[in-house]
Structure formats: C-alpha cells, structure tokens
Amino acid sequence: MTTDDTAQPWQWDEPTWRGHVERVRAGRSLLPAAGPDRWPGGAAVAVAISFDSDHETPSLRDGETSPGRMAQGEYGARAAVPRILELLHRHEAPASFYVPAVCALLRPDEAPGYVERGHEVAVHGWIHERNTQLGHDDELDLLGRAVDVLTAQTGVRPTGIRTPSWDFSDSTLDVVRELGFAYDSSLMADDVPYELLHRGERTGVVEIPVEWIRDDAPYLMMDRFGGLRPWMAPRDLLQIWIDEHDAARAAGGVFQLTLHPHIIGHPSRLLVLDRLLEHIRSTDDAWITTHAALAEHVAPGLRD
Ligand SMILES: [Zn+2]
C-alpha cells in the first residue's frame, strides 16, 4: 500500500484501492442448496424482521439532550413497543430487537420483555456511538460492556450485532471477532446471507445483509431543522416491501426488514407492518424467524 496519505484516490496505486475494497468483503453465499430443506418446514422464503430499539440514544449520542428530543425517543419505548409486541404476537412472528446498552439500562424490563415473548435481543452499540470516530480499544470496550449489560438482563448472551447506523470502522470486524459474535447484520453486499472476508481471509462470521430500501428510516424520518422530512405515504411503502418480499419468495431467498419503534410505531405506520405480515402470512409458506436463528440455520455453509 502507498505510504503517501495525501494521495488523491485517482493517484492511488493498485494495492491501495484494492486494499480498501478487500478490507471487509463478501465471501461465499450461505444460501442453503435449493430444495425442500433450504428453509425449515419446506418454507419458500425466510423472513427476518428486526427492530432497532434506539429510542433516545441517537439524540444522546449527538449531545442533543433537550426534553423535546428525549420525548421523541421515549415515544418508541413507551407507546410503540407495546403495540409492536401485540402485533407480532397476533401474527405469531418472532423478531430481532437490537438494543443499545444505554436503552437497556434506562428501562431494565425492556430487553427481558422481548426475550420472554420469544424474540431475540442483540447488540446495537453502547449509546449508538459513531464507531468510525473510535479507536479499536474504545470500540471493543463499549461493545464488550454492551454484551455484558444485555447478558445480565436477559440471561442470554447475544450472538449477533448490528452496528449503530450500520457503520463499520477499520476495527469493527476485528472487534466482532474478538467478542465471538456468530453474525453481523449491518452490511449490504447481497440479498442473502454470506460469510464475511477480512482482507481476503475467511472469518466464519455470518453476514445477514440489510438495505436502506427495507428500512423505515429513509422514508419516514423527521428532523425539524435538518433537511429530513417524511416523503412517502406509509401505504406506498407497503407496496415496496410487499414487492421485495415477493421477489425474495420467488427466488427462495430471504426477506429482511429493519424498523425503529420510534419511527414505525405510530398508528398510520404500524398499519403497514400489520398489512405486510398479513400478506406474508397469507402465503402460508414463510419461515418467519429471528436473525440469530437464520444465522444458525445457514452456518453449516461456513464449513463447506
Ligand atoms: Zn440504530
């Protein structure tokens, strides 16, 4: 790699640009072989729905601590989560909840409540920190403490991580491996799970890919003094996600969705999730599962 840090990208030599691309990359696909055993019960599609229970933490992380901003996040825990849990119960849909440790400490009953209802709780940073601003030791310390908090509260050690804002620092994959996570769900190199490569080397870490298209935030976020405004009617969003699901089902693949209680949890929006699950359930051939169970199901592909 070039030692000249002031070089512009167009001046980089091949080892430099190749090195950037290959630092963290998609390895082998972990989609099980086609056939009735691809998904449990002969299901046509695996459906993995997730909630990033961020609540107040993105505002706290930015030092925006006014009661108004705190209340906007608190809505997620106070008003939205109970509705979401009722909806998931009604559709018999287990889901994954990614919980920043500070949220777990603010409301010690929240993470155990998810687990009691058959959902997964997994790591989502300490305070939704921007990991790209951290050195290796700080990132390891925060994520290690986050694992400890969730483990102590739920009695189950989380097997997965979704990095805050899906960001990866230069150290994130090292830290993920040092903490022994079975899977990450923050990157987007495919529609189906794959093995992460680290500088060309196999890691044994499963990636369950995400996508902005299958995330409520880019469509529905509101920032009064920023440029962010909800720009799509929730019912239009429903059609996008139905189309994404139907395509995944036709391919025998995975439909993965990322939602946020403080964003999706309003009545006009939760209706979208209700209709979507109605649609998925109407096919009668979906395996609705947690990210942890999906990672475990595809893990044998790591041994090939
Ligand atoms: Zn988040």
* Per-residue model confidence (pLDDT) at position 228: 84
Instruction: Give the whole-angstrom CA distance, residue 107 versus residue 126.
Output: 14
R_g (Cα) of the chain, nearest Å: 19
How far is ligand 1, taken at its centre, from the CA of residue 259, in Å?
A: 9
How far is ligand 1, taken at its centre, from the CA of residue 166, in Å?
A: 8
How far is ligand 1, taken at its centre, from the CA of residue 37, in Å?
A: 34
Has domain 43-303 been given CATH number 1.10.10.10?
Answer: no
3-state secondary structure of 286: strand
The angle that helices 81-90 and 267-283 make with each other, rounded to 10 degrees, is 20
Mean pLDDT in runs of 10 for the chain (304 residues)? 75 95 97 96 98 97 95 97 98 98 98 98 98 97 98 98 96 98 98 97 98 96 84 93 98 98 97 98 97 98 90
* Per-residue model confidence (pLDDT) at position 5: 72
How far is ligand 1, taken at its centre, from the CA of residue 88, in Å?
A: 20
Helices (H), the chain: 14-22, 57-61, 67-75, 81-90, 101-106, 110-116, 136-154, 172-178, 217-220, 234-251, 261-264, 267-283, 291-298
How far is ligand 1, taken at its centre, from the CA of residue 210, in Å?
A: 13
